[in-house]
Structure formats: structure tokens, C-alpha cells
């Protein structure tokens, strides 16, 4: 008998893009094992605080457990300090939590998105053992190879020359980012069997920065109660079925 | 396929087609040359790109040249891209159980009663043809090229827009692939001419 | 370990190959010439499986000579490269393939320019401005990227080659002790001391 393998891959793909004062974290909702679809709705993106959202991808059981433990640590922090943990601190917390399992890792790629204390949009990406980096955009999961070069081109403007006297923007407006996220997942759904069913996009807006056109987005739903602080919205879409 | 590296892509536009590839020739991780042409003219409006093992790229190019020349002599006319695609397929399938390690991509303009029609096709290493209506990819960066092309390509692009689309697709695709890159070449085929451009790319 | 280098310059190709013939960990011979003179203006450095190398090199040498006898003119470097490539590609899918890697350098007397071909045992051919085979390639190619000049006079080309040989001597654990260096230009082939 072959020895017990504690890991499996559950497909799906996640993606996050940071704007100047907002952050978008997205993931599809299909969960599969091999050619078998286990469910068409298994969220991979989770709201941690009013300004932090975590997307997890890889081994779903580990992902869910890891999110649970992060949430627990954040609650303890709230009880101890009477405030939410800042984003960069959550990032460092995730690193130590992942590295503490260096020799029996959570088989999960994490992407953390949200708003920093200075009000800027941020994305942190992690490997399963806690190496991390703050970036403007990141895709992870089986369709990473399809999406990341597309983001290089459309977000970082790689291989594109700005018009004479012009320069490329360092951050894109929210509307443009949402359009790119939807296009990215449409592409990945078209060409990758593990991506599909539903798309969940979490949008984290900086404090007092207005809705930036989000009010016009179909099916947008606010998750935060107060309009005073950072605000989190979610947009759910069906992905193409053919 | 990863032994020498390299990638090819072809796209359909409005009354035009484009085919492009990188120029790297490597020995696994070691880059040997940045001038390896893997796209070859078949007729003056049909091109074939061969991604895969370097020696088989050259061997097949020679075999295709021979068989196309024989066809041209016997038929006293140029071979049509679709016919050529089947020639490629049967040549590869002859070696079903000891294949050439090559994924061919064909791009050309078909002759029709009302002028010409864009044609692209790709095959796997044993000759299974894929007649796509939009774009085809092959080689070590194929997954990246799929993701980009799916996002950038749109129907009915004119020759200049098609050139930009295929170039951006290829360049950004090979930049995320360790086995492809080191410059690129793009051919845009229209009914009265073929425009060939060599692109600079990242050299890392 | 077996190592060979080649580079082109203004009207010439330089080819260098180590001169050791080794079996396992033992150096059997330290003055082996592994660069064949295939014609008046054609050089071929060979390396690979002992036995195959000399056998294949002589096979090439005799066939290139035969062509010259039959046609009264020699094969030009691109044609020779194609013929050798085909021989290797056919051999690759035979019952007992040759494992021989080659550097083919020649001076094309019709076009008055140097040609250099990197050829491996699979039958892959690339025309290159400079090339290397063996462990030395991991050291030499980066140097050649930096210092090679296709318009350099012979002295400068030899100096660039010397850089490669010195780097290999310095950094490669199993570095060869001696090299044979040959040049081909409009006046034909000759050996040079380095």
C-alpha cells in the first residue's frame, strides 16, 4: 500500500491588484480535485478586518484552516490592543505563521490585499513557507502562468513604450482594475479547466476616498457597516459556462 | 521541448495573418544563440513555425521543403496552407511511435473564389491538427501565450494592430519563460505582401 | 574535462580545443590534436564519446575530401555544416548513434567571410559569432558576450580567446592543461601558439 499523502491540490486561481488608495482581491469559486469538481462555490477570498482581505489557494483544507488561525490571531490582537492589526503587521504575522510550519507546511499560496496605515493600496504575496513581498499585482494558482504575464503587460506596462513626453501611470483607476480582473478570469476560465464557475472580487477602499465609480458596478454589495473608515465591497459574477 | 526551448504563435486578423517566434536556442539552461530562426516560408503567402527540439526543427524544415517542392512541380501550382497543414500532419504521423519532437504552427492566406482567407493551424508532435479561428500557440511558453492571447486578441484586427497584438503577446509571454526569449521575429502576411520585423527583447 | 572554444573576427575563425585524451580519471595522452583540417579553409573541433569522436571525424574528413575529388571544388562552410548535420541527425535515430559535438569553422572563399557553426550530437546547428562546448562553455560564453568583437583583428581575437582559457584554468576544477589553437582565414588553416 502506498503511504498516506497528507496533501492534495484543489485548483482555482486567485489574483490581487493594488491601486493608489484601493485594493482588489479576487478569486474564482471552483474547487476541484483532479478532473472532479467538488463544488462550484467554495470561497477562496476572505475578509480579515475592515482593511484586509486574504486570498488562499492550493490545498483547500490547509487554506481554510490557515484563514481560521489568522482570524483567531487577529481577534486576540483586537482584544489586547482595542484596534485592528495594521496590514503590514498582518503580512508579517502570516510570514511567521507559515514559517512556523516550515517542515510540515500549509500547502497554500497566500495573497493579502488591503489598505496600509498611510492609506495606500497594497498587495502582499506569499509562498507556502512564508517568503513574502509587497507588490502592485500578483496572480497565484494553476492559472498563474496564464495571468501573470498579462498583468505584467497591462499593470506594469512591460514591453510598452510611453508616448513621447508621457510616462506610464504607477497605479490604475478602480474601474480599469476591475475590468482587467474580469478579463483575466474570463481568459483563465476559457483556457484552464480548474478555473471557472464563479468570480468573487473584494474591493477595499481607502478611508474617505469615495466610491470611485463602484456605485455603478452591477451587483456590488458592501460588507462594512460604517462609511467612516476603510470600506470593503464584494462583487460576484458568474464565469462563462462553455 | 525544454531541451532547446523556444515558442511560436500565430494569429488571425482581418484579411491578414501573423506568425511570430522567439530567437533563443539553448542547451537546457545555457543560452547558445540568439539568432535561431524557427519560422520558414513555405510559399510566398504561407509560413510554418516549428517549436521544439532544434535538430528536428531543421530536419523537418528540410523534409517540408522537399515535399512542398515535389508538390509544386507535380501540381504546377503553389500549395494551399490547408493542404500544407495536412502534409505536416501526415509527415509527423508517419513517425507515430518514434516522433519528431516538434510542435508546428502554420499561418497563411488561402486562395478562395472571392480572393483570400486567413488560415492558421497548429499540430502536436504526432500531427494532430488544430484549426483555430483565432490564434494558436506552441513551445515552452505556450501556457503564458494562451493567457496573453486570450486577453489581448480581438477579431478583425488590421495588419498593423495585429502586428502590435502578436508582438505584445509574444514578448510578454517569453519574458516569463526561462526557455524562450532572446529576441523575436514577427511576420505579418497580407494578400500583396509579407512584412517581417525583428524585435528586440529582454536578454535575460 | 573536454572543452573547446571558437570565435570569429575580421576575416578569420579561431578554434581552440584541449589536447587531453582521458579515460575515466586517467589522462592517457596530453598532446592529442582534436581539431581536424577538413580542407584548405575548413576546421572542425570534435569532442564527445571516446571512439565515436575520431571515427566520426575521419568519416566526415574522408567524405568532404571525396566531394572535392569528385567535383574539383570543395564544399563551402555552410554546405559542409549541412552535410555534417544531416549525418548526425540520421545517426541520432539509428541503432548506435554517434555522440560527438562539433565546432565547425571555415572561411568562405566565395563570399570572403568567416563562418562558425555550433553543432551538437543531436544534429542541432546554429551559426554563431562565438561558441563553446563542454564545461568551459559555462565560463567562456559570458566572457565572449562581453569581449567578442566580430570586427576585431586576429591579435585581439587571440587575446579574447586567452581570457577564456585563463578563466577556465582559474575556475574550473577539472580544467585542461594544454590547448591546441588553430586559425582559418583567407590564407587557409594554420596552427598558432598561445
CB atoms within 10 A of CB C6: 29
Contact (CB, 8 A) for A233 and A222: yes
Say if C and A touch: at least 3 Cβ pairs within 8 Å. no
Question: Could you tell me which of B60, B48, B145, B39 has the C-alpha nearest to residue B102?
Answer: B60
pLDDT digits (tens, 9 = 90+) for B78-135: 999 999 999 999 999 999 999 999 999 999 999 999 999 999 999 999 999 999 999 9
Residue B55 to residue C122: CA distance in whole angstroms: 6
Question: Could you tell me which of A67, A26, A24, A28 has the C-alpha nearest to residue A48?
Answer: A67
Nine-digit cell string for A77: 490582537
pLDDT confidence of residue B1:
87
pLDDT confidence of residue A242:
78
Residue B53 to residue B66: CA distance in whole angstroms: 20
Nine-digit cell string for B128: 494532430
How many angstroms separate the CA of residue A141 from the nearest CA in chain B?
A: 13
Within 8 A of A152 by CB-CB distance, chain B residues are: 172, 175-176
Strand partners, B189: B17, B194
Contact A143 B168 (CB under 8 A): no
Main-chain dihedrals φ then ψ at residue A170, nearest 5 degrees: -80, -25
Residue B146 to residue B131: CA distance in whole angstroms: 15
Residue B112 to residue A205: CA distance in whole angstroms: 56
Question: Could you tell me which of C125, C158, C130 has the C-alpha nearest to residue C145?
Answer: C130
Q: pTM for the whole thing?
A: 0.95
pLDDT confidence of residue B180:
98
> What's the CATH code of the domain at B89?
3.60.20.10
Total domains in chain B come to 1
Residue C135 to residue C118: CA distance in whole angstroms: 15
Contact (CB, 8 A) for C33 and C43: no
Q: Which CATH architecture has domain A14-239?
A: 4-Layer Sandwich (3.60)
Nine-digit cell string for C47: 569532442
Domain annotation covers residue B87:
yes
> What's A26-78 look like in SS3?
EEECCEEECCEEEECCCCCEEEEECCEEEEEEECHHHHHHHHHHHHHHHHHHH
Within 8 A of B144 by CB-CB distance, chain A residues are: 145-146, 148-149
Main-chain dihedrals φ then ψ at residue B149, nearest 5 degrees: -60, -40
C-alpha distances out from residue A226 to A24, A208, C69, Å: 19, 11, 94
pLDDT above 80 (res A80):
yes
Residue B182 to residue B177: CA distance in whole angstroms: 11
Which ipTM score applies to this complex?
Answer: 0.95
pLDDT confidence of residue C194:
86
Residue A31 to residue A25: CA distance in whole angstroms: 18
pLDDT digits (tens, 9 = 90+) for A175-233: 999 999 999 999 999 999 999 999 999 999 999 999 999 999 999 999 999 999 999 99
Average pLDDT, chain A: 97
Q: What is the mean pLDDT of residues A52-57?
A: 98
Contact A152 B175 (CB under 8 A): yes
What band does A103 get if pLDDT is binned at 50, 70 and 90?
Answer: very high
Nine-digit cell string for A4: 498516506
pLDDT above 90 (res A173):
yes
Supply the range of the domain harboring residue B58: 7-199
Residue B101 to residue A73: CA distance in whole angstroms: 53
How many angstroms separate the CA of residue B146 from the nearest CA in chain A?
A: 6
Chains that touch C (3 or more CB pairs under 8 A): B
Contact (CB, 8 A) for B15 and B190: yes
% chain A with pLDDT above 90: 98
Contact (CB, 8 A) for A67 and A95: no
Domain extents for chain C?
Answer: 3-192
Please report how many Cα atoms fall inside a 13 Å half-sphere around the Cα of residue A217, on the Cβ side.
22
pLDDT digits (tens, 9 = 90+) for B157-175: 999 999 999 999 999 999 9
Within 8 A of A158 by CB-CB distance, chain B residues are: 171-172, 175
Average pLDDT, chain C: 96
- Per CATH, the number for C3-192 is 3.60.20.10
Residue B27 to residue B23: CA distance in whole angstroms: 13
How many angstroms separate the CA of residue B46 from the nearest CA in chain A?
A: 27
Residue B67 to residue B73: CA distance in whole angstroms: 10
pLDDT digit string (tens) for chain C, length 194 residues? 799 999 999 999 999 999 999 988 899 999 999 999 999 999 999 999 999 999 999 999 999 999 999 999 999 999 999 999 999 999 999 999 999 999 999 999 999 999 999 999 999 999 999 999 999 999 999 999 999 999 999 999 999 999 999 999 999 998 999 999 999 999 999 999 98
pLDDT confidence of residue A96:
98
pLDDT confidence of residue A1:
74
A interface test, pick of B147, B152, B154 with most A CB neighbours within 10 Å: B147
Residue C1 to residue C177: CA distance in whole angstroms: 10
Average pLDDT, chain B: 98
Q: What is the mean pLDDT of residues A140-155?
A: 98
Chains that touch A (3 or more CB pairs under 8 A): B
Amino acid at each position: 500500500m502506498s503511504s498516506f499523502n497528507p496533501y492534495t491540490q484543489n485548483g482555482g486561481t486567485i489574483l490581487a491588484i493594488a491601486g493608489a488608495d484601493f485594493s482588489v482581491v479576487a478569486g474564482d469559486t471552483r474547487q476541484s480535485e483532479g478532473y472532479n469538481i467538488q463544488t462550484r462555490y467554495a470561497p477562496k477570498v476572505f475578509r480579515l478586518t475592515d482593511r484586509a482581505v486574504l486570498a488562499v489557494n492550493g490545498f483547500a483544507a490547509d487554506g481554510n484552516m490557515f484563514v481560521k488561525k489568522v482570524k483567531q490571531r487577529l481577534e486576540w490582537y483586537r482584544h489586547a490592543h482595542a484596534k485592528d492589526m495594521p496590514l503590514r503587521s498582518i503580512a508579517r504575522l502570516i510570514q511567521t505563521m507559515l514559517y512556523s510550519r516550515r517542515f510540515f507546511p500549509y500547502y497554500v499560496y497566500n495573497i493579502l490585499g488591503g489598505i496600509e496605515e498611510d492609506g495606500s493600496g497594497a498587495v502582499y504575496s506569499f509562498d507556502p513557507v512564508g517568503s513574502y513581498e509587497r507588490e502592485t499585482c500578483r496572480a497565484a494558482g494553476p492559472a498563474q502562468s496564464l495571468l501573470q504575464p498579462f498583468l505584467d503587460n497591462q499593470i506594469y506596462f512591460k514591453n510598452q513604450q510611453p508616448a513621447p513626453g508621457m510616462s506610464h501611470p504607477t497605479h490604475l483607476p478602480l474601474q480599469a482594475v476591475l475590468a482587467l480582473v474580469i478579463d483575466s478570469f474570463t481568459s483563465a476560465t476559457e483556457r484552464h479547466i480548474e478555473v471557472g464557475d464563479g468570480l468573487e472580487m473584494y474591493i477595499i477602499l481607502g478611508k474617505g476616498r469615495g466610491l470611485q465609480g463602484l456605485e455603478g458596478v452591477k451587483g456590488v454589495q458592501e460588507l462594512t457597516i460604517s462609511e467612516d473608515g476603510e470600506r470593503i465591497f464584494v462583487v460576484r459574477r458568474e464565469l462563462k459556462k462553455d | 521541448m525544454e531541451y532547446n526551448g523556444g515558442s511560436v504563435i500565430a494569429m488571425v486578423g482581418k484579411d491578414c495573418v501573423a506568425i511570430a517566434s522567439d530567437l533563443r536556442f539553448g542547451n537546457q539552461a545555457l543560452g547558445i544563440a540568439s539568432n535561431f530562426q524557427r519560422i520558414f516560408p513555405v510559399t510566398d503567402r504561407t509560413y510554418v513555425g516549428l517549436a521544439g527540439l532544434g535538430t528536428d526543427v531543421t530536419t523537418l524544415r528540410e523534409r517540408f521543403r522537399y515535399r512542398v517542392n515535389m508538390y509544386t512541380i507535380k501540381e504546377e501550382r503553389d500549395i494551399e496552407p490547408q493542404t500544407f497543414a495536412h502534409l505536416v500532419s501526415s509527415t509527423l504521423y508517419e513517425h507515430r511511435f518514434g516522433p519528431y519532437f516538434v510542435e508546428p504552427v502554420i499561418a497563411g492566406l488561402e486562395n478562395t473564389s472571392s480572393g483570400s482567407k486567413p488560415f492558421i493551424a497548429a499540430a502536436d508532435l504526432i500531427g494532430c491538427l488544430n484549426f483555430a479561428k483565432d490564434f494558436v500557440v506552441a513551445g515552452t511558453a505556450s501556457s503564458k501565450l494562451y493567457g496573453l492571447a486570450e486577453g489581448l486578441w480581438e477579431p478583425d484586427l488590421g495588419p498593423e494592430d495585429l502586428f502590435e497584438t502578436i508582438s505584445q503577446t509574444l514578448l510578454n509571454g517569453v519574458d516569463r519563460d526561462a526557455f524562450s526569449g532572446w529576441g523575436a521575429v514577427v511576420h505579418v502576411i497580407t494578400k500583396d505582401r509579407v512584412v517581417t520585423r525583428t524585435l528586440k527583447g529582454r536578454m535575460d | 574535462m573536454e572543452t573547446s572554444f571558437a570565435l570569429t573576427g575580421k576575416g578569420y575563425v579561431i578554434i581552440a580545443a584541449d589536447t587531453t585524451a582521458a579515460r575515466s580519471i586517467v589522462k592517457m595522452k596530453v598532446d592529442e590534436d582534436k581539431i581536424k583540417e577538413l580542407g584548405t579553409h575548413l576546421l572542425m573541433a570534435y569532442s564527445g564519446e571516446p571512439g565515436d569522436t575520431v571515427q566520426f571525424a575521419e568519416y566526415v574528413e574522408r567524405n568532404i575530401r571525396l566531394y572535392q575529388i569528385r567535383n574539383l571544388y570543395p564544399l563551402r562552410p555552410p554546405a559542409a555544416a549541412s552535410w555534417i548535420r544531416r549525418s548526425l541527425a540520421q545517426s541520432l535515430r539509428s541503432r548506435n548513434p554517434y555522440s560527438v559535438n562539433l565546432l565547425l569553422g571555415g572561411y568562405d572563399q566565395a563570399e570572403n567571410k568567416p563562418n562558425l557553426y555550433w553543432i551538437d550530437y543531436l544534429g542541432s546547428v546554429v551559426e554563431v559569432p562565438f561558441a563553446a562546448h563542454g564545461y568551459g562553455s559555462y565560463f567562456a560564453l559570458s566572457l565572449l558576450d562581453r569581449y567578442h568583437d566580430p570586427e576585431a583583428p586576429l591579435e585581439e581575437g587571440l587575446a579574447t580567446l586567452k581570457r577564456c582559457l585563463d578563466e577556465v584554468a582559474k575556475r574550473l576544477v577539472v580544467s585542461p592543461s594544454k590547448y591546441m589553437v588553430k586559425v582559418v582565414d583567407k590564407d587557409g588553416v594554420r596552427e598558432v601558439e598561445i
